[in-house]
Amino acid sequence: MDLGNLLFTNISPKQTFLKNSFWLFLSQGLSRLFKLILIIVSARILNPTGFGTFNYLLSIGAFFFIAADWGIGSLIIREYQQLEEKEKYVRVSFLFRLIATALCLIAAFAGLFVFQNPEFRINFLIISIYLFISNIKDFLVSFLRAIQKMEKEFIVILVEGFSVMAFGIFLILIHRNIISLSFGYLIGVFLSLLTAILMTRSYKEYFKPQFDKETFKKILKDGFPMLLFGILGFIFFSTDQIMLGKMRNVTEVGYYSLITKGVLLINLIPSLIMVALFPYLSANVKDKEKIKKLTKKVVLAFIGLGLLISILVFFLAPIIPFFVGQSYKPSLGLAQFLIWIIVFMFPAAYFSYFYLAYNKQMLSFYLTAISAIINLVLNFLLIPKYGMYGAAATSLFAQLLNFLLLWIFSKKVFQSPISTPSAAQN
């Protein structure tokens, strides 16, 4: 088999999986690299206050768009493989996504009146339009995944990552304000949307919006649990920045968001590993002894990898000001403190796929919800007095609790009967 067929043609299930994994890893790796460069440059130029303001507004914008996806990104991938009326489902789900995203945009526009500062309003308006376009683009990317054309997805992600970085850096170098960074994001995602439209042009009949009452009901029902998971993710990774901005100041948001963005970039490592491992995990759920051994090996490996990276970051943290400027010195101690969170986040990434493989995602949701609620309550208690360190301590405790709960209840999953999605449907 020549390299062209290996990387650009779907020939067999095994080869298609390897091809898709290659393009997924490459696109996400390059996208995170571009994002890292943009973070370093924008943080250095905008200083902690400007950088914090941008991330504060971005977090609030994300709140208004929580319901925009409604799980459709995952549903369309699953349903495309199982349904006979594929085109109808895509058309209806596209209409659903357009309506949901438009309603979120309207809500975000109403949210403009929350801000007293005119500059905040302008930035939030740009960010809201950016998030609207991003959600439409994400639907097209999900469709490319559904038809297993991740080499085309790679092009879309590459265009967005590079464009946001290039235009963001270019504009902030000229104007040196957060509005220019917001415009950089907007231009980048718009070019990405045009690229996604180009990549899906041969399937244009699939994107003629269609209304079907029963399919709408099915999407509402199937997507609701995924919406709940989205809310949990927002509580874990965004509410602390909003609360820091409201209870303290946006400068602390600048210090805190710089470190949390670094942590989330590092957390990509187990996520990508699990994307590749998930098919094997799903295929062997009935062999509980094999999965027990796999679980032990992967969890220990992830904990060990998390410890190794945490130690490296702890000792290398003093070089952060060299990249982003001396004004970020207060974030050094925060980096050395918060980085240990990946020791718990890495194995938790495994368990999220583990519960999904055993069709126990709602159990995973309830366990994660406990940690998320505790995270929210502790933020209210600790942030006013301890600021970013209070938010960091809360995140550490919540992630530790989440990992322990997922680990403890995984043993109960092994003791329960197998409940696969197909069995549940039958």
The whole-number pLDDT of residue 422 equals: 44
At 232 the pLDDT is 84
CA distances from 51 to 218, 268, 337 (A): 41, 22, 21
Q: What is the pLDDT of residues 210-220, one digit of tens each?
A: 988 888 998 88
Distance separating alpha carbons of residues 64 and 179, to the nearest angstrom: 20
pTM: 0.83
Q: What is the mean pLDDT of the chain?
A: 88
What value does the mean pLDDT take over residues 298-321?
A: 95
Give which of 133, 163, 136 is closest to 73, Cα–Cα.
136
Contact assessment for residue 354 and residue 366, using Cβ atoms and an 8 Å cutoff: no
Rg, C-alpha atoms of the chain: 22
Look at residue 423 in the predicted model and tell me its pLDDT. Answer: 43
Contacts for 181-184: CB closer than 8 Å, 24+ residues apart: 181/42, 181/46, 181/54, 182/54, 182/123, 182/126, 182/127, 182/130, 183/126, 184/38
Share of the chain above pLDDT 70, in %: 92
Tokens of 93: 């789900």
List the helix and strand counts (H, then E) for the chain: 17, 0
How far lies 129's CA from each of 18, 39, 115, 193, in Å? 36, 21, 17, 13
Tens of pLDDT, residues 55-106? 999 999 999 999 998 888 878 877 776 677 888 889 999 999 999 999 999 9
Is the four-CA dihedral 317, 318, 323, 325 of positive or negative sign? positive
Residue 206 CA to residue 192 CA, distance in Å, equals 19
